[in-house]
Amino acid sequence: MTTTPGTEYPFGPVPAAEAVEHFGRLIADRPMTKVTMPHGGDVWLVHRNRAAREVLSDRRFVREPFRTGERAVPFFVPFPDFLLGTLQFEDPPQHTRLRKLVQKAISPKRVREMRGSAVAFANELIDGMVARGGVRDLVREYALALPIEMLSSLLGVPSSDRETFERWSSSTLAVAGKSEEEVATDMAELAAYMTDLIARRREDPREDLLSALAHARDRDETLTDAEILPIAFILIVGGFDNTATFLSTGVLALLRSDEQRAVFLTDPDGLAATAAEEVLRHGGFATGRPAGGGGGLVPFVATEDVVVDGQLIAAGEAVSIDLVAAGHDPSVVVEPGSFDVTRTDNPHLTLSHGLHHCLGAPLARMELQVGLAELFKRLPGLKLAGEPVFNHDVLTQPMTSLPVSW
Amino acid sequence: MPKVFYTLPDGTERVVAAEPGDSVMRTAIRNGVTGILGQCGGELSCATCHVFVDERHAGEFPPVSEDEDDMLDVAATDREDTSRLSCRLVLAAGQEVHVTVPEAQL
């Protein structure tokens, strides 16, 4: 394929402002680019926001061929087998059935009810940092601790087991620095623990997600342990690491922008919702780190020829969403390069859209809002006390340390 | 062309021309009406396109299904008698619909 100069894709890290301009040229040039991934072959990566939404809403794009192993997932790394058994890779009608059961337990209403306890726990964490004083690591002492507490409480892990649950769950995280064997052992122990907990909740249900899923079989739906376990796993894998990264990124972005921090501090509670969306869309760029283009969500396969925004995606081809470009599409985002915590019209796709949109989205959003608002209300003078550390060995390059003082 | 009148939580109104066959949710998304998220794209699995339909339209849309009913129960803003998920409100040519967007979807 020949490309117009300045619209190459993928492209390596450049200063964030240049990356935004690059995405603008790319989006003006074409709706999508076919890219050969390091594993699993070619995939169309859709850059334009409207075209991306179209793909995500079209049932002719499915994931079954990945789940059955008929074809490999085009991705940066060999796709982990245990994730292929999760909801992400189911299509309707099985997906619809499982998804509804889980979504009711992580519903907007349920998450609103959890908000009070998130606020209380965030403040406990801040109390701890204040009591210890000096330079604190915001990643370990705040951004990681908040989502794991919320996740344990959602799933229904008893408080006496939280410490071991946290150790197992954080095993796959970059900050843990564990060997493959150690991770495998931890995952096996976590699976055994969850299986036992599901059995206990079948006997003695509580007001939590595992109880709701275990007892779904008592109504017209039936869920086996083999179905519940992957749901618990995807929530742990997806809900913990990602939320922590968004929160650390949001804090760093605000610390890097005196102007936006001043705006946020005028009304942290009132601006938490728009600030959280802006962090999801553009937080990574606003931290001052270089940005590149070249990745996407987990792909789909076209079941027939489909034309999207003038481009033919042929039957059998894989297609994915370049969510970074879609969040910087000038036709739907005004001034995509500016970090604006008051932005109300913010149609980013960071948590995806459609059938497979982020299962934990209401929870992730709430945690991000609470995490940012409580921190800056309690510690308005929060400042960097050193340079943040990122793990470059991991695909998502998560922040592993953020030294702060106040 | 159908038309949707969205009353936002702050009391302001947005009037949007829609395409026949589009839903009130999709019309909002296409036109950047804030306060309707429609995160699942109309799959009845997110409850983030909740609206209150003006009483003058009672009977203009198909009744609430069991699945919609379940999701309305878990919406962020408490449901009322006029509550609907706007992905279920498909517009016919020339139809004009007035809806109120609730305080919160999340």
Instruction: Provide the pLDDT for residue A291.
Output: 94
Instruction: Provide the pLDDT for residue A219.
Output: 57
A361–B46 C-beta distance less than 8 A: yes
Residue B43 has its nearest CB partner, among A110, A355, A361, at A355
CA distance B84 to chain A (A): 15
B32–A332 C-beta distance less than 8 A: yes
Q: Which amino acid is at A30?
A: R
Searching chain A, which residue's CA lies closest to the CA of residue B73?
A109
Searching chain A, which residue's CA lies closest to the CA of residue B29?
A347
Domains contained in chain B, CATH given: 3-100 (3.10.20.30)
Instruction: Domain A11-405: give its CATH architecture.
Output: Orthogonal Bundle (1.10)
Burial label for A215, CB within 10 Å (0-12, 13-18, 19+), is middle
Of A304, A298, A227, which is closest to residue A37 (Cα–Cα)? Answer: A298
Residue among B23, B37, B45 with most chain A CBs within 10 A, to mutate = B45
Q: Taking CB atoms and an 8 Å cutoff, what residues of chain A touch B44?
A: 100
A330 reaches B (C-beta below 8 A): no
pTM, two decimals, is 0.92
Instruction: Provide the pLDDT for residue A270.
Output: 94
Searching chain A, which residue's CA lies closest to the CA of residue B72?
A109
Q: Domain ranges in chain A?
A: 11-405
Number of A to B CB contacts under 8 A, please give it: 73
Give the H/E segment covering residue A185: helix A180-203
Q: Taking CB atoms and an 8 Å cutoff, what residues of chain A touch B74?
A: 104, 107-110
Q: A14: which 2 tokens?
A: 């450049």
Residues of chain A where predicted confidence (pLDDT) is lower than 50: none
CB environment B60-83: b (16+ within 10 A), e (fewer): ebeebeeebebbbebbbbebeeeb
Complex ipTM value: 0.90
Confidence of residue B52 (pLDDT cuts 50, 70, 90): very high
Searching chain A, which residue's CA lies closest to the CA of residue B41?
A354
Q: Does residue B47 come out as left (phi exceeding 0), alpha (psi in the -120 to 50 range) or beta?
A: left
The packing angle between helices A225-256 and A268-286, to 10°, is 90
Q: How far apart are CA A17 and CA A249, in angstroms?
A: 17
Instruction: Provide the pLDDT for residue B39.
Output: 87
CA distance A213 to chain B (A): 16
Searching chain B, which residue's CA lies closest to the CA of residue A53?
B41
A106 reaches B (C-beta below 8 A): no
Residue among B8, B10, B33, B39 with most chain A CBs within 10 A, to mutate = B39
Instruction: Provide the pLDDT for residue A176.
Output: 66
A110–B39 C-beta distance less than 8 A: no
Cβ contact A25:A3 at 8 Å: no
Residues 6+ positions from A305 with CB-CB distance below 8 Å: A312, A313, A314, A315
A366–B106 C-beta distance less than 8 A: yes
CA distance B86 to chain A (A): 15
A112–B104 C-beta distance less than 8 A: yes
Residue among B8, B10, B30, B40 with most chain A CBs within 10 A, to mutate = B40
